[in-house]
Chains A and B, each alone.
Chain A
Amino acid sequence: MKSNIKRFLACIVTLAVLMVSTAVPAFAADTTDTGTGSVTGNVTINGTISPLTISITHPVNVAYAISPDAGTFTAPDLNVTNNTKVAVNVTVESLTAAPGGSLTFTDVDPSSNSWSTLNLADSKKYIALGIKAKDSTGWNSGYNTATHWAVNASPILVGSLNPAVSGNLALTADYGLSFDGTCTANHNLVFLFQLA
């Protein structure tokens, strides 16, 4: 009877030792490489990369003024600042005449009219409004120096801005001078920003 109890206890101890000895490698590593000479071990590294946040500071609206007596077109610069960690491409997606003012211009090519001799009706009807990079300041090399005229529907890539860098764009226009009252007119400008 005593010998049976001893055998039973010995079995339990043996099982316990076996369980411990088999369990420890499972916690310590995935594989055990054995062999003679040089031994190669493969380690898998899993990385998780979060998407980058694009951050841009830009104007939402732009106002301009035409002074027929002085023959001047005045508009503030459009300052775009890249707050992103990497360079960002700045594209003028569209620039189009929009309703909402006392008159709605028709966008035309600057060479389509003799602007200084435009009569009252045509002065109130036509404008050639364009946008371009004001100067090279801030823009990476290869930036576009051409003017994007509102009459052209296709988007134009202006250039790219490095992190924490600002670039200026400027409006330009050809217009008539015959206005018999204060008029207001709207245009919609849409930028497209994307990682360079």
Chain B
Amino acid sequence: MDKRKPKDEEEKRRRKWPYIMLLILLLLLFLLLTHSCGQHYPGPGPSPSSSESSNTSPSSSLDDSGSALPGSSSSPSRQEILSQLQKQQVTVTDKVSSQISFPGGSTGSTGIWEVENQPSNSVIMQCEIILNGKTVAKSVPIYPGQHIDSITLSQPVTPGNYNVTATIKYYNKTTKAYLGMADYGIHMSVS
């Protein structure tokens, strides 16, 4: 009986041994995990103090992925802005006859008047003759490299001599969008 007892105890110790080893392993694993979570900071940023790391939970810590540009921010210089604005500016050369003459003042009467849209221009032109604030004639669109030598009255005008405004409206050649306009003070005679 006495001899059997130590044998049983030895048998019990043998059975416990794997459990103890497993427990130690788990403990080591836990220690390893907690250590790595508290000290791993990839990237060049400074690592917080140990007291901070122990008080900060992983979800509220800095997501330090990516990198910002070095130095202070720089907006474009005034010269760079000016250069950009100059590129946006559209310049045209107009050639407008200073007189328009109609053989009659009735609607549909065709008068002699020359306007040229030079080939170097990048806009479409369309002309209107304004008399006392009212449009009395309107030209067809004039593309670069084209000209007109006549214009037709769309309103009756009493025969006489007038100072009128020839308005040239400019449109984008591709989009046909309105760009701007210029006025020319010219003389109009209606016989």
Contacts and interface: CB of A to CB of B under 8 A. Distances in A.
A60 B170 CA distance: 7
B98 A190 contact: no
Main secondary structure on A side of the interface with B: strand
B24 interface: no
B16 to A, nearest CB: 72
Interface residues on B, range: 20 to 34
B97 A53 contact: yes
B185 A193 contact: yes
Given A74-B82, A188-B180, A192-B183, A61 B90 contact: yes
A78 to B, nearest CB: 8
Contact of B89 (A63, A83, A93, A188): A63
A192 B88 contact: no
Interface stretch (A4-12, A64-72, A125-133, A135-143): A64-72
A58 B82 contact: no
Interface string A22-43: 0000000000000000000000
A194 interface: yes
Contact of A192 (B86, B94, B185): B185
Of all A-B residue pairs in the complex, the 5 with the closest CB atoms, nearest first, are A194-B185, A51-B99, A60-B180, A192-B183, A57-B93
Interface of B: 75, 78, 81-82, 84-86, 88-99, 114, 123, 165, 170, 179-187
